[in-house]
Amino acid sequence: MFIETVRKCVPSRNCWKRSYSWCATVSNLILTFPSRASCSGLDARGFLFGPSLAQRFGIGFVPVRKKGKLPGPTLSASYSLEYGQASVELQSDVVQANQKVVIVDDLLATGGTLSAACELLKKVGADILECLVVIEIKALNGIKKLNSVPVHSLVEY
């Protein structure tokens, strides 16, 4: 059963032979992904996981990118880094009010990027179901910045 799930995670049936770890990671994310939700991925490594999940479920993918990378009208949110400030953007017309969204990224460390993505999606009226991350670094307490948004991580350090 698990191998069949892994094989279905990407279009190429041979993928699992070449990158079993990648497919297993996506499959584990699939097992936790709520049904009937859009998928939002964070620039740039969230773009590796998000489209794979969106394709598997036949749902839309909503990119949250670094400032200045998206076309058309955008909304922006800033967050603090150890060494300064950074911003992410979301196209203002890609999410409808009350649309259910799951945010996907590779890492939850200090929580700045995920928190900014949540802020942007809430600005456009999205209903954020949860954040899915591959790795969470517990000692940095990034989950506190996400307030009441549930977080599911595959690996915790």
Mean pLDDT of the residues in the chain? 84
List the catalytic residue out of 4, 13, 18, 82: 82
What's the pLDDT tens digit per position in 34-52? 767 889 999 999 998 899 8
What's the pLDDT tens digit per position in 68-125? 999 999 999 999 987 889 999 999 999 999 999 999 999 999 999 999 999 999 999 9
Residue 89 among the catalytic residues = no
Encode 72-100: b = buried (16+ Cβ within 10 Å), e = exposed.
eebeebebeeeeeeeebbbbeebbeeebb
Determine the number of helices (DSSP H) and then strands (DSSP E) in the chain. Answer: 5, 7
For the question of whether the overall pTM of this predicted structure is more than 0.75, the answer is yes
Residue 156 among the catalytic residues = no
